[in-house]
Structure 1
Amino acid sequence: MSDIEIAQRAKMKPIIGLAAEKFGIPAEHLDPYGHYKAKLSLEYVDSLSHQAQEGKLVLVTAISPTPAGEGKTTTTVGLGDALNRIGKKTIICLREPSLGPCFGMKGGAAGGGYSQVVPMEDINLHFTGDFHAIAVAHNLLSAMIDNHINHGNALDIDPRRIKWKRVVDMNDRALREITVGQGGPANGYLREDGFDIVVASEVMAILCLATNRADLKERLGRIVIGYKTDKVTPVYASDLKAHGAMAALLKDAIKPNIVQTLENNIALVHGGPFANIAHGCNSVTATKTALKLADYTITEAGFGADLGAEKFLNIKCRSAKLAPSAVVLVATVRALKYHGGVDRIHLNQENLEAVEKGFENLERHITNVTKNYQLPCVVCINHFTYDTDAETDMIIEKCSDLGVKCIVSKHWAEGGAGAEALANEVVSMVEGSTISPDNLNLLYPDNMPIWNKIETIATKLYGASEIVASDKVKGEIAELQEKYGDLPICMAKTQMSFSTNPSLKGAPTGHSVEISSVKLEHGAGFIVAIAGNMMTMPGLPKTPTAEKIDIDDNGVITGLF
């Protein structure tokens, strides 16, 4: 059966009763969105902060992604179900799917096989409206900027130095660069503008990193929308008096969403994906709530460990004072063969030479996790039917040579039962871990200059020999250094390679990473550095998934995965 067919046959329990059964959450603190999904009140979240209970955090990340698939979300769900099966009180924390990939090429983000969160169609399509609220809040600020200029521009905003675009939650390359204000003076001031996808919005990052409504509103007020005509004085969202209304639009979006797995275990799905162009983590609110309720919290970070795990540690953990006790690094035999040069159509055929060659990608990620961050790590081979014993044995042996345990896990086909060996290894690592927010080994200190922070990420994690930038970009970095030099870096880079060339597989070394632009996200609390030609508004592929998605007269959806 397909993923959606498995999900549609799930025996779900009403979420209000399930939340009470599993964690004693009172019904009055759950706002239901139908029978099987709900939002948790911030009052209840705040009440948990006074409890001494603090569970252990486990991060699931992966090798550099390939068309062959890796399965971070599937592994996160399978591991969470397995931990619950062996008696460990566990909550899963995931990111919400974006409609762009759902209708584009990647598909949804609810897991797969028998390791999914449900209701799968709802989660992948609109869910509880969080992304809509983020888009409206973002675009309200966009409208208020142009409205202010149209009505006299008392703040002396330079229309040529506005840094705030518009957003839409869809892959639409035609909107990357547009002109607004056409049609004469009645339609505003003519200027260049553009659209990003919603997940790249600073409002999304703020929602994910804010700890309460007051923090949310304060961060929204700190957004720098552009500069005055003196070229140096920033203009903030609070100057436009926009942050109050934006926070009001996000009053429900900030609440964590509660759903369940196929095995009726609790999952909090809240916050944005896309670790290639955003920080790619679920919300701090959801993670901290889970840590107060459960003994184990299993969370994921987007794409490969060079992107998602890096930002999880250097942005989210730094900001929220979190630390994972252990890391699960997901790989597949098929993906390693792809990194080893095998064409996609031949990935189901045994090829030990390609596995060995492609292992260099996994090895680089292992080294980054265990050496650069000094974190306990287990490699999970997300099992596919065509994997051979010879291939998996080779990976296990090579991981052992690096001092890391590797476990073959069959959670896609068997659910939590197929991941019990992985769960037992995670428990062993966590119980022996002494990692805490106070001793977490971050990649760079706050006071390192911005240029050196970017260079450290590129050379230590990506294997690059250098970073390069135009004089214009170097000048912009120097300007940011004066006021914002203590902020961490959010790299926007292709997820397909350690380099900026998506076709360069394995573990390239000696390459240059070009920083093509930088952007201050003051409300979120980081600086975005765009590497190469990375786009913050993706496009649709030649044959988008949208062509396969349909709904019948009974409301049954097909083609979604």
Structure 2
Amino acid sequence: MTDIEIAQNTKMDKIVHVAAQVGLNEDDIEQYGSYKAKIKLPLKTTKATKRKLILVTSINPTPAGEGKSTVSVGLGDALRKLNKNAMIALREPSLGPVMGMKGGATGGGYAQVVPMEDINLHFTGDMHALTTANNTLAALIDNHIQQGNALGIDQRRIVWKRVLDINDRALRNIVIGLGGPMQGVPREDGFDITVASELMAILCLSENLHDLKARINRIVIGYTTDRQPVTVQDLQVGGAIATLLKDAIKPNLVQTLAHTPAIVHGGPFANIAHGCNSVLATQTAMDLADYTVTEAGFGADLGAEKFLDIKAPVLGKTPDTIVIVATVKALKLNGGQALKDLDIEDLKALESGIVNLTHHIKSMAQYGIPVVVAINRYTQDTEREISYIKEVCEKIGVQAIDTDVWAKGGDGALDLAQAVVKSVEEPANFKPLYSNDAEITEKIQTIVTKIYGGAHVEYSKKARNQLKRFKKNGWDKLPVCMAKTQYSLSDDPKKLGEPHDFTIHVKSLIPKLGAGFIVAMTGNVLTMPGLPKHPAALDIDISDDGKISGLF
């Protein structure tokens, strides 16, 4: 059966019963139908727990698939089977990948969060609220200019873009305000995908409504004609924008196929944003459960690094264990085996490609946190291939666990869960990758050399000028969020495996003061993706009685 057929054939518990598992009653939640709810904040009561946090990340993603969300769900279910009080905290899917190429973000097989159709489509409306809030701010900026421009905003230096939660390359660069004086002031503009909006990052890093509004007010929307930054606070519309997000800030409660409580909230991409679910989602899960399983987007070079260097300081908690997900197929693809041949045993390709996994293990170990590897099994994987991965990991002091969650759900992750329960009790000595007092260039160099394994960083003339202005404006003490291709450790998506001595090319820098970091745009990464030749939308349909098909 397909993922959606498995989900549709599983009976869900009412969301009030799911909430009761973690001590929440009907007054603690706002129901969105029978199987979804928002958790009211702040929680009336919290449990005194050990609050063990498990971060799930992976090797660099490939077309062969890695199954990070699937393993996260299966691990959460397995911990419950071991009678552990566990919850899962995941990101919300974007409609861009759902209708495009990557797919959804609810796991797969018998390790899914449900209702998967709702979560992958409109869910509780968070993405729409973010889109509306972002575009309301854009409209207010243009209206301010139309009505006299009291702040002296230079329309050529507006950095706030409009957004849409769908892949649409035609909107990357546009001209607005055409048609005469009553239609606005003409200027160049463009669209990002909603998950790249600074408002998404702000929503995911805010600790409460007060913090949300304060962060929104710090957003730099553009510059004056004498290059002074203009913020939302200057426009005096922070309260209005925060009001549009009053419900979106509340974490969403759902369940897995095995009825494990799951929080699905916030969805920044890790290649163009910080790639982690919300601080409130993770904190709420830790308040309610002894073990929280959470994930970071794409590979450890992106999502996990940003979780540890950007999210963890706000959360006030670092992971007790990091789980790195890998598949035999993906490692063989990294080792040069053709995509069409991945079902064929090839130990030579596996030997060549496993360097991608060992690189991520070593880069995560720098943080002083125990690491466990989850080998996400496919039917075609051979015992010799699985054994080889285990042997290589054992030689560098890391346990690799054969995991079969797609076919078996939590039962396929019991060994992984036992290893994680043991691992979280090991001493962790967290070491930040860099000091925020370091120069921006030093932070970027540190990430490039210690996490990516690169040698050099090359800055465009535009980026060099921005570095000077940022230091003058006092923005140089913020952490750095690298916008980089997810497919390679380098900024060239074709360089698989473990490339060496490469150069990262920084094209530009974007101040995101509300989010609290500086974005470094590298290579050819895009903040508005395009649709593939055969988008997933071509395979999605709905019957006359409302049954959806083709949604994975």
Q: Which bracket does the TM-score occupy, shorter chain normalised?
A: over 0.9
Counterpart in the other structure of 2:128: 132
For this pair of structures, how many residues does the alignment match?
Answer: 551
CA separation in 2, counterparts of 1:52 and 1:117?
A: 27
Counterpart in the other structure of 1:61: 57
**1:411-490 equivalence runs, <5 A:** 411-433=405-427, 435=428, 439-482=429-472, 483-490=474-481
Counterpart in the other structure of 1:96: 92
**1:51-450 equivalence runs, <5 A:** 52-231=48-227, 233-370=228-365, 372-433=366-427, 435=428, 439-450=429-440
User: Contact 1:278/1:490 (CA < 8 Å) preserved in 2?
Assistant: yes
Counterpart in the other structure of 2:493: 502
Q: What amino acid is aligned across from residue 374 of structure 1 in structure 2?
A: G
Counterpart in the other structure of 2:507: 516
Counterpart in the other structure of 2:31: 32
Q: What do you get for the CA RMSD once the two structures are aligned?
A: 0.9
Q: 1:533 to 1:53 in 2, by over 3 A?
A: same
CA separation in 1, counterparts of 2:371 and 2:75?
A: 14
Render the CA deviation track for 1:445-480: whole Å, top value 9, x for unaligned. 110100111111111111111000122211101211
User: Contact 2:165/2:193 (CA < 8 Å) preserved in 1?
Assistant: yes
Deviation at 1:77, TM superposition (A): 0.2
CA separation in 1, counterparts of 2:444 and 2:314?
A: 18
Deviation at 1:276, TM superposition (A): 0.5
CA separation in 1, counterparts of 2:361 and 2:62?
A: 17
What is the DSSP-based 3-state SS (H/G/I as helix, E as strand, rest coil) of the residue aligned with 2:131? helix
Q: What amino acid is aligned across from residue 93 of structure 1 in structure 2?
A: A
Q: What amino acid is aligned across from residue 503 of structure 2 in structure 1?
A: S
Deviation at 1:37, TM superposition (A): 0.5
Render the CA deviation track for 1:10-32: whole Å, top value 9, x for unaligned. 11000012211x11201012111
What is the DSSP-based 3-state SS (H/G/I as helix, E as strand, rest coil) of the residue aligned with 1:327? strand
User: Contact 2:200/2:268 (CA < 8 Å) preserved in 1?
Assistant: no
Q: What amino acid is aligned across from residue 38 of structure 2 in structure 1?
A: K
What is the DSSP-based 3-state SS (H/G/I as helix, E as strand, rest coil) of the residue aligned with 2:144? helix
CA separation in 1, counterparts of 2:475 and 2:42?
A: 33
Deviation at 1:54, TM superposition (A): 4.4
Render the CA deviation track for 1:122-150: whole Å, top value 9, x for unaligned. 00001000000001001110000000000
CA separation in 2, counterparts of 1:345 and 1:468?
A: 36
Render the CA deviation track for 1:484-532: whole Å, top value 9, x for unaligned. 1110011000000011111110000101100011100000000000111
**Aligned structure 1 segments of 4 or more residues deviating by more than 4 angstroms:** none
Unaligned runs of 5+ in 2: none
Greater Cα offset, 461-470 or 513-522 = 461-470
CA separation in 1, counterparts of 2:467 and 2:537?
A: 40
CA separation in 1, counterparts of 2:525 and 2:42?
A: 40
What is the DSSP-based 3-state SS (H/G/I as helix, E as strand, rest coil) of the residue aligned with 1:308? helix
Q: What amino acid is aligned across from residue 197 of structure 1 in structure 2?
A: I
CA separation in 2, counterparts of 1:432 and 1:468?
A: 40
User: Contact 1:54/1:292 (CA < 8 Å) preserved in 2?
Assistant: no
Is structure 2 residue 527 aligned with structure 1 residue 558? no
- TM-score, with length taken from structure 1: 0.97
User: Contact 2:97/2:103 (CA < 8 Å) preserved in 1?
Assistant: yes
Deviation at 1:319, TM superposition (A): 2.3
